[in-house]
Amino acid sequence: MKPIDKWMPEIRTAVSGVDDAVIKQTIQATLREFFTRGGGWKQELDSITLREGREQYTINPQSQGIVLYPDQAWTTDPNTPDDNRTPLHIYPSEALANSGGWGNGIYMVDANTIGVAPVPNAAMEGKKLTIVALWKLLPDCTSVPDAVFDNWFDEVMDGVKGKLYMMPNKPWSNTALGTYHGKRFNLGIGRFRAMMRKGYTTAEPAWRYPSWA
Residue 11 has pLDDT above 80, yes or no: yes
CA separation for the pair 62, 41 (Å, rounded): 13
pLDDT at 181: 98
User: For 141-212, where are the alpha helices, taking DSSP H only?
Assistant: 146-165, 175-200
CA separation for the pair 122, 30 (Å, rounded): 47
pLDDT at 206: 44
CA separation for the pair 209, 213 (Å, rounded): 6
Domain spans of the chain?
A: 2-39+139-200, 41-136
What is the percent of the chain with per-residue pLDDT over 90, rounded to a whole number?
58
CA separation for the pair 36, 135 (Å, rounded): 10
Which helix (DSSP H) or strand (DSSP E) does residue 97 occupy? helix 94-97
Which letter, b or e, does each residue of 149-158 get, where b requires 16 or more Cβ atoms within 10 Å of its Cβ?
A: beebeebbbb
Residue 205 has pLDDT above 50, yes or no: no
> For 127, which DSSP code?
P
85 in Cβ contact with 129 (< 8 Å): no
pLDDT at 10: 94
Residue 104 has pLDDT above 80, yes or no: yes
Residue 29 has pLDDT above 60, yes or no: yes
Question: Helices then strands (H, E): number in the chain?
Answer: 5, 11
Residue 22 has pLDDT above 80, yes or no: yes
CA separation for the pair 107, 55 (Å, rounded): 10
Q: What is the CA radius of gyration of the chain?
A: 21
pLDDT in tens, 108-139: 998 889 999 999 999 999 999 999 988 888 88
pLDDT at 208: 52
Helix (H, G, I), strand (E, B) or coil at 87: strand
pLDDT in tens, 48-102: 999 999 999 998 655 678 888 898 999 999 988 777 899 999 998 888 888 877 7
Among the ranges given (26-30, 34-38, 47-51), the one the predictor scored with the smallest mean pLDDT = 34-38
Helix (H, G, I), strand (E, B) or coil at 209: coil
pLDDT in tens, 147-198: 888 999 999 999 999 999 999 999 999 999 999 999 999 999 999 988 877 6
CA separation for the pair 40, 86 (Å, rounded): 26
